[in-house]
Amino acid sequence: MGNNHYDIAIIGSGPGGYVAAIHAAQRGAKVAIVEKQYLGGTCLNVGCIPSKAMLHVAEVLHQLESVEELGITLPQAPVFSMAKAVVFKDKVVKRMTSGVGVLMKGNNVDVFDGLGTVDDSHTVTVTNQGNTQQFTADKIILATGSVPLMPQMPGIDGTNVMNSDTCWNLPKTPESLICVGGGVIGIELACMFNALGTKVTILEMLPQVLAPVDDEVRKLLVRILGKRGITIVTNARVEGIEDDDKQKKVIATTEKGQQSFNAEYVLMAVSRRANTSGLEHLIEQGLDTDRGRVRVNEKMETNLPGIYAIGDLVHGAGLAHVASTEGEVAASNAVGQEMTMNYDVVPNPIYTFPEIAFIGLTEAQAKEKYPEARTERFPWTAIGKAVAMGETEGFTKIIIGKYGEILGAHIIGPDATNLISEYSVAMRGELTVDEISETIHPHPTLSEGLREAVLAVEGHPIHIPPKQAARAR
């Protein structure tokens, strides 16, 4: 078979696939990766990276609203150009995706452009504009990712109806937007469009938005978003979308009965589904699936010998950093180095203003599972660096168990998505709160708040009165 045979073939080049390719290649495997659309997958092209680029633009605009109290007077009101912001976003995306190409070349990974189809004989067929190539591999890692879920309903294919993959190249800022879905994707995008000047309404089918988030954290964020003019309607089941003159009309069943909501654009952000395109033969040949996703064990192995699956294709957290870790686990096992996946310590970032990040159990989960668990919080208003930055909304909450172990941590406030890593390392290393409180944290920094939260749960906070700790919000 010569050059047409590889040790490992990877289908999909998102943060799970390309990391798996690098991991395997660095361990001596001859690796091929197949990508049907663009290197970097959804995350780098239409997901994590473009969204964070545009969220950065939106956050800068949001921060400009309060610069006068810093002694900065702008000669005129800021003028936002969606076209220029899109150019900035495209530059960021191009830099990141080009970097993946450089990494593939640097690690001697062969890249095949086109749709990859796989069968249980480990033959990969790559089709690109009518041209076909074939090769075989000893092991195959499926990393085909996910696509936005577009539920079947009237009007969903109409104009000005977009999803989280297609909302990044608008010609101008929408005057108004209805976001269908109040999960992480919907809330992030709603926060972004609101800061860019769009009137936003969120329709969520469940009784609350951001269902996995700690109740106290979620309630604070909902209040903050409400102050900014974002309307949130829960228990709202969308039935259809219609044209209404130059606007879109979304019809929903709510607690008030049937209601209609009008806006220039509709953003569908209800969920994502596994992308099984190219895996049809494997499914026919017995690839085990459950509710549209591929079943795997702790080694990321499917029920078919020598075939692994990772990322959004399998049941899991649906996070890019989790997909990357799953890619490392799959690649290690594929090259004969045993490794298992552990989901016990997974940090969850949410890029709103202020940011949210959490790990482990919520307060409600902890109380149900561990009656002896203790919870405390420490407000950003008591941290000098946060006050100096003018970022005092929110708090750090920590939940500890019987032996001082960390059961969960929740941060809402400045740079929360970075700060959560300290608690991630602590939980992974099974550190107790004593070991955190005895660690010197630099001053003045935001990280001081993480230590102060630990001191508060022990009843010895430094920068708030002890009796205030239980009430700190």
Residue 352 near residue 26 (C-beta atoms within 8 A): no
What are 186's two structure tokens?
A: 């919907």
> Would you call 443 a catalytic residue per the annotation?
yes
Nearest to 421 by CA among 343, 359, 328: 359
Whole-angstrom Cα distance, residue 56 to residue 335?
40
In sequence order, the β-bridge partners of residue 328 are none
Whole-angstrom Cα distance, residue 203 to residue 251?
10
Selected catalytic residue, list 23, 56, 443, 460? 443
Nearest-10 Cα torsion for 234, 190, 49, 292: 30
Residue with token string 């949130």 = 232
In sequence order, the β-bridge partners of residue 260 are 251
HSE-CB of 458 using CA atoms within 13 angstroms: 20
In sequence order, the β-bridge partners of residue 400 are 374, 406
Q: Residue 320 — φ and ψ, nearest 5°? A: -60, -40
In sequence order, the β-bridge partners of residue 8 are 31, 139
| C-alpha 38: how far from chain center | 19
Annotated catalytic sites, by residue? 443
